[in-house]
């Protein structure tokens, strides 16, 4: 157990000192951290939830605050630890690993072990079987969906382009190919109150001909 005593003038929850000259200062993302440097800086969940993570404004705010405010508080030889859920590839952790990879060590503990697991688990092993078995985690994955599962449980955020069907796989054709080796047909209907919405009609006449006709219906 770590026993810490505080000075008599340590009254504020966001700033306190020890008789030995140490202390702690806390602030939220965007908050002021001035007056003192730190030998140990811990960033805990700079992104609150998926809504903030998917907002480019919030992500940029966290990165700018880290670069311009927090990082400047580091004493020579200071240690910086970032603890966070990897909601998005462009979050603070993603920014640091992309632009300053050589300065950071990533420790990722997915709910279900993948290749090169830092704990030495076999692929497919749960992180804590006593709490969440593989069967329980499979149920969670089904309930939350692949995107949330990859971020919240595997700490491996899916790219904006998708992780099952990538945008880069699709190509634009100005001249139709002579034949189609495979055909994939997807139809959907849309409804928006009483407004006119387009219904797509696709007709495949042969291996070389197709017609796409948008039609507006009420």
pLDDT tens-digit profile of 202-215? Answer: 555 555 555 555 55
- Looking at residue 110, what is its pLDDT? 96
Q: Are 158 and 151 in contact (CB under 8 A)?
A: yes
pLDDT tens-digit profile of 82-93? Answer: 999 999 999 999
Residue 192 has pLDDT above 60, yes or no: no
Q: For 7, what's the count of Cα atoms within 13 Å in the CB-facing half-sphere?
A: 13
Helix, strand, coil % over all residues of the chain, rounded to 5: 25, 20, 55
pLDDT tens-digit profile of 5-63? Answer: 888 887 777 778 888 888 888 888 888 887 778 999 999 999 988 899 989 999 999 99
d(CA 108, CA 33): 28
pLDDT tens-digit profile of 93-121? Answer: 999 999 998 999 999 999 999 999 999 99
- Looking at residue 158, what is its pLDDT? 75
- Looking at residue 24, what is its pLDDT? 83
Which residue matches tokens 């910086």? 80
d(CA 124, CA 129): 11
Q: What is the pTM of this model?
A: 0.67
């Amino acid at each position: 157990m770590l026993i810490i005593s505080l000075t008599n003038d340590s009254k504020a929850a966001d700033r306190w000192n020890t008789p030995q000259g140490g202390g702690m200062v806390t602030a939220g993302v965007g908050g002021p951290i001035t007056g003192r440097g730190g030998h140990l800086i811990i960033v805990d969940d700079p992104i609150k939830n998926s809504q903030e993570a998917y907002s480019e404004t919030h992500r940029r705010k966290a990165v700018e605050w880290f670069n311009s405010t927090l990082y400047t508080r580091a004493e020579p030889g200071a240690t910086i630890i970032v603890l966070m859920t990897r909601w998005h590839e462009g979050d603070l952790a993603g920014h640091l690993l992309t632009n300053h990879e050589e300065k950071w060590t990533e420790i990722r503990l997915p709910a279900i072990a993948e290749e090169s697991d830092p704990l030495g688990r076999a692929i497919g092993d749960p992180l804590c079987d006593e709490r969440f078995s593989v069967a329980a985690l499979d149920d969670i994955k089904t309930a939350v969906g692949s995107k949330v599962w990859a971020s919240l449980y595997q700490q491996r955020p899916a790219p904006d382009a998708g992780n099952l069907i990538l945008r880069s796989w699709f190509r634009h054709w100005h001249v139709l190919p002579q034949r189609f080796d495979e055909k994939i047909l997807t139809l959907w209907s849309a409804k928006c109150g009483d407004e006119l919405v387009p219904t797509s009609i696709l007709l495949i006449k042969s291996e070389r001909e197709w017609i796409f006709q948008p039609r507006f219906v009420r």
